[in-house]
Amino acid sequence: MSLELDAEQVAFTFKGGMLPLTVIELASGNIERIEAQLSGKISQSPAFFQHTPVVIGLERLPDEPLALDQLCAMLRRHRLLPVAVRGGNDAIKQSAWALGIGWFPPQEGRAQPVVEPVPVAPLPEEAPPLELRSGRIFRGTVRSGQQVSAPRGDLVVVGAVNAGAEILAAGSIHVYGPLRGRALAGIHGDQDAAVFCHELDAELLSVAGNYKRLEDIPPDLLGKSVQVRMVEDQLEISAFEPLRV
Amino acid sequence: MAKIIVVTSGKGGVGKTTSAAAIATGLAFKGHKTVVIDFDVGLRNLDLIMGCERRVVYDLINVIQGEAGLNQALIRDKRVENLHILPASQTRDKDALTIEGVERVLDTLSEDFDYIVCDSPAGIERGAQLAMYFADEAVVVTNPEVSSVRDSDRMLGLLSSKTRRAEQGQEPIKEHLLITRYSPDRVTSGDMLNLDDIREILAIPLIGLIPESEAVLRASNQGVPVTHDQQSDAGQAYSDTVDRLLGEDKPLRFHEQQKRGFLSRMFGGGRR
Ligand SMILES: Nc1ncnc2c1ncn2[C@@H]1O[C@H](COP(=O)(O)OP(=O)(O)OP(=O)(O)O)[C@@H](O)[C@H]1O
Ligand SMILES: [Mg+2]
């Protein structure tokens, strides 16, 4: 046996963490309807539904009865892993616990601070505020086979993204150079995310799971400086007009 | 301490072995003590191109497994002083190449040689990764076609992450682009990518451009690296490449379509 049994050798330590989690914010308690919509999303971007942990958000239907067990089973069939419920009444809380998943109090609008702290330890003191370190700037060429991601914020690439490369961001993506590979913005479902690039030649563009392949991109937009965003539930690519002086 | 140069590409058949042999020969011509190592276990091409296939007794794997000493396995080139070849095995299993073994061989060679040129196998698997792992510089061989450029790009990604320099956070490997089998006529006709497109995509400095040339075929059939053929375009282009590797400034040649003179049009002659 070793000679010293000091604090270094404890079996575990509690660490504070802020993990990115996708919230499925339900607008309906009808499981068939949820499943129908989900199937569509999954066929669009299967890569993001590989045992992805999700939180079921019930803020928008606080008192509606919900078959939580069936909902969880359905999500698991589609390779999503429900890990907790946020919001809902006491009955929901009890059935979440019975199913072995967690319960978080409802989040009431952004401006209002959450009254009860969520059961995640606070960030360590030395960590800068979340806003300051959630984005990422990558300088250089993203090459075939490489993946660069900003799982919590915007991604800025100062350079080229070559064919066969993939860039991902929870927020928006900005490429100051040619975009020849795959760019996926809003990977946790943020519909307001967008992709901006200097020179469009992308293999795939996606915002919140809505995607267009190179084949679907109007040829007159290729090589242009563009933005890609959701407009009325459609992925729209538009060229920046040259400035007229 | 020797400088270790890997000649790599990802895609097969683009001219790695031809280039490794030509560059090693060129370095030796310039008076640098050079060894060229074949990492392509199972295929063994380098000794053919170097014209020493009949003199192979032991190989890299024998040395790694302790069955032969380095001096027994090294073959001295008959034409150029200062040039040695360490052949690969045709019969052994690729798995016999170990990272520790390769390190030991390179460390020992480093004491005696100025340059160690590693001829990488195609692909991005173990063999290719071992060939590049200890390199100080990389010559990325690319043909003017989309798939080759794509594979070179992939290789550059690996060079920046899967090498000792990258893993230990040392100064990154110096990367050089070598475009081979370039045919200005076919670029003009649109069959091939042009020089500027390749440079723009790969975004690393160009060390040389080798034209598509019959001299290369002739050279490999005779087992004489094309650098010996200084009458030929490819031979001159490889010499330029070596000069640039050594830090000399040489203008680019052979990248423009040849304007044919009256006589050559009459008699259908091209560059030889
Ligand atoms: N500049 C050139 N002009 C004409 N033919 C060439 C040229 N360079 C290479 N070749 C030919 O291309 C073929 C492949 O060359 P080589 O064996 O050097 O490629 P490689 O990349 O080492 O292949 P592998 O991936 O199988 O190891 C050979 O037949 C060679 O003669
Ligand atoms: Mg070869």
The Cα–Cα gap between A103 and A119 comes to 9
What is the DSSP-derived secondary structure letter of residue B31? Answer: T
Query: Residue A75, Cα to own-chain centre: how many angstroms?
Result: 17
Q: Which residues of A touch B153 (CB under 8 A)?
A: 143-145, 162-164
Q: Do A164 and B153 touch (CB under 8 A)?
A: yes
Per CATH, which fold does B3-246 belong to? Rossmann fold (3.40.50)
Per-residue confidence in pLDDT tens, chain B, 272 aa: 899 999 999 999 999 999 999 999 999 999 999 999 999 988 879 999 999 999 999 999 999 999 999 999 999 999 999 999 999 987 777 788 899 999 999 999 999 999 999 999 999 889 999 999 999 999 999 999 999 999 999 999 999 999 999 999 999 999 999 999 999 999 988 889 999 999 999 999 999 999 999 999 999 999 999 999 999 999 999 999 999 999 999 999 999 887 665 555 555 444 44
So what's the pLDDT on residue A53? 85
Please report the beta strands in chain B, taking only residues with DSSP state E, as ranges in sequence order: 3-8, 34-38, 75-76, 83-86, 115-119, 137-142, 174-182, 206-211
Tokens of A10: 């404890």
- Identify the H or E element spanning A236: strand A234-239
- Give the residue from A201, A244, A191 showing the smallest Cα distance to A225: A201
Please indicate if any CB of chain B lies within 8 Å of the CB of A199. Answer: no
Residue nearest to atom 31 of ligand 1 (CA): B217
Distance (Å) from the alpha carbon of A91 to chain B's nearest alpha carbon:
52
Q: Is B112 exposed, middle or buried (0-12, 13-18, 19+ CB in 10 A)?
A: middle
Length of chain B: 272
Q: Do A146 and B151 touch (CB under 8 A)?
A: no
Instruction: Tell me if residue A197 falls in helix, strand or coil.
Output: strand
- Torsion on CA atoms A95, A99, A100, A106, rounded to nearest 10: -40
Tokens 């091939």, residue located: B192
Average pLDDT estimate for A210-224 = 93
End-to-end CA distance of chain A: 79
Q: Model's pTM, two decimal places?
A: 0.72
| Cβ pair B12, B92 in contact under 8 A | no
Query: Residue A128, Cα to own-chain centre: how many angstroms?
Result: 22
Which protein residues are within 6 Å of ligand 1, measured from CB?
B 9, 12-18, 40, 45, 121-122, 180-181, 210, 212-213, 216-217, 220, 234
- Give the residue from A81, A71, A69, A70 showing the smallest Cα distance to A26: A71
The Cα–Cα gap between B138 and B143 comes to 16
Return the biggest CA–CA distance within chain A: 79
For the segment A30-72, what is each residue's pLDDT rounded down to a tens digit? 888 888 888 877 776 666 677 788 899 888 876 777 889 999 9
- A 131-170 residues inside an 8 A Cβ radius of B: 141, 143-146, 159-160, 162-164
Domain spans of chain B, in order of start: 3-246
| Cβ pair A179, A197 in contact under 8 A | yes
Q: Do A163 and B150 touch (CB under 8 A)?
A: yes
- Identify the H or E element spanning B25: helix B16-29
Chain B interface residues (partner A, CB cutoff 8 A): 124, 150-151, 153-154, 156-158, 160, 201, 203
ipTM (interface pTM): 0.78
- The reply, when asked if residue B174 is annotated as ligand binding, is no
| Cβ pair B61, B97 in contact under 8 A | yes
Atom of ligand 1 nearest to the CA of B212: 3
Residue in B150, B151, B157 closest to A146 by CB: B157
